[in-house]
Amino acid sequence: MENIVILSGGGIKSAVCAWRYAKDHELTLVHLSFGQAGSSAELNATAELSRELPHAKLIPLVLPHVTSLQHGGEHGASAVGATGVVGTPTHNSDVSTLSPVMLAGIAPMILSVGVQVALRVGASTVVTGITQTAEGGHLGLAPPEPRHDNRREMIHGLAIAFDALLAAKTRVKIETPLMDLSYAEIVQLAVRFDLSLETCWTCCASGLSACNTCQQCKARSQAFTQARAVDPASTVMPAHS
Ligand SMILES: [Zn+2]
């Protein structure tokens, strides 16, 4: 049975991707932690997904260098350095004084890690649920950020780069089955697949339950409304305090 890598953030897109391939593939779910607030909840959701799938294993990876760059002085280089993971930064390389920021353009890095995992586990394909459609944008919500790193052109460019880097016998494909779908259309697929949507985590915040106020929570709610579906998680998501 062919093995493929699914890049999972614990959300609905990842779950739809996984179940699309679950029947006739072994799946390696990869969750990356790089300083995002909801990382623990994302990982828990991905672990739950891996238990539901018939042939799946989970590989959680931590990228402390990206956390350092993203969080600067708050949770970044100093904290990571104190654990000895990457060492204490030198005077000339200290990023601990930088302000926290959401890094742009990290999709190529995430895909690159996915390809490396594929090479390690003998997988032929890396699947990502990224979409070109700005979540919430088509629903009247302001898109959170321009997502130039999610565009089809970026995927094509990376595929060419990986082909050039890897020998033909170790070629790894990148597939983006949801690229041109709206969030509502993805929700409709999830309902059709009868997925456990209550365990899919999409909130940007940390905590035991979704905040219901962040852009991702609003976009999820709007997508379910447009898909004429009921979000099972909405009945168990108290307002964040
Ligand atoms: Zn939220």
Helix (H), strand (E) at residue 172: none
For residue 98, report the distance from its CA to the centre of ligand 1, in Å: 25
Q: Give yes or no for residue 47 having a pLDDT over 90.
A: yes
> Rounded mean pLDDT of 195-207?
91
Better pLDDT: 136 or 169: 169
What is the layout of strands, in order, in the sheet containing 26-33?
56-62, 26-33, 3-7, 125-127, 173-175
For residue 206, report the distance from its CA to the centre of ligand 1, in Å: 8
Under DSSP, is residue 116 helix (H, G, I), strand (E, B) or coil? helix
For residue 163, report the distance from its CA to the centre of ligand 1, in Å: 38
b/e for 9-36, b at 16 or more Cβ within 10 A?
bbbbbbbbbbbbbbeebbbbbbbbbbbb
Q: Give yes or no for residue 74 having a pLDDT over 70.
A: no
- Structural domains of the chain sorted by starting position, each given as residue range(s) with its CATH number in brackets: 3-196 (3.40.50.620)
Query: What is d(CA 177, CA 139) in angstroms, rounded to the nearest whole number?
Result: 21
For residue 183, report the distance from its CA to the centre of ligand 1, in Å: 16
Quick one: pLDDT at residue 113? 95
For residue 211, report the distance from its CA to the centre of ligand 1, in Å: 4
Quick one: pLDDT at residue 237? 46
Quick one: pLDDT at residue 135? 55
DSSP states of 184-241: HHHHHHHHHTT--GGG----SS-SSS--S-SHHHHHHHHHHHHTT---GGGGS-PPP-
How far is the CA of 222 from the CAs of 9, 182, 226, in angstroms?
Answer: 20, 11, 6
> Rounded mean pLDDT of 173-196?
94
Q: Give yes or no for residue 149 having a pLDDT over 80.
A: no
For residue 25, report the distance from its CA to the centre of ligand 1, in Å: 32
Closest CA to 155 of 138, 176, 133: 176
- In contact, 31 and 10? CB cutoff 8 Å: yes
Quick one: pLDDT at residue 70? 74
CA–CA–CA angle 229, 57, 21 (5° rounding): 50
C-beta atoms surrounding 157 within 10 Å? 12
Better pLDDT: 198 or 84: 198
For residue 117, report the distance from its CA to the centre of ligand 1, in Å: 29
- In contact, 231 and 221? CB cutoff 8 Å: yes
Quick one: pLDDT at residue 198? 93
Closest CA to 123 of 232, 7, 237, 14: 7
For residue 135, report the distance from its CA to the centre of ligand 1, in Å: 13
For residue 125, report the distance from its CA to the centre of ligand 1, in Å: 31
Predicted TM-score of the model (pTM): 0.81
How far is the CA of 180 from the CAs of 122, 134, 177, 195, in angstroms?
Answer: 28, 11, 8, 21
Better pLDDT: 40 or 72: 40
**pLDDT-based confidence at 173, cuts 50/70/90?**
very high
Quick one: pLDDT at residue 97? 61
Better pLDDT: 5 or 87: 5
**pLDDT-based confidence at 238, cuts 50/70/90?**
very low
Q: Which of 75-84, 97-106, 139-148 has the lowest mean pLDDT?
A: 75-84
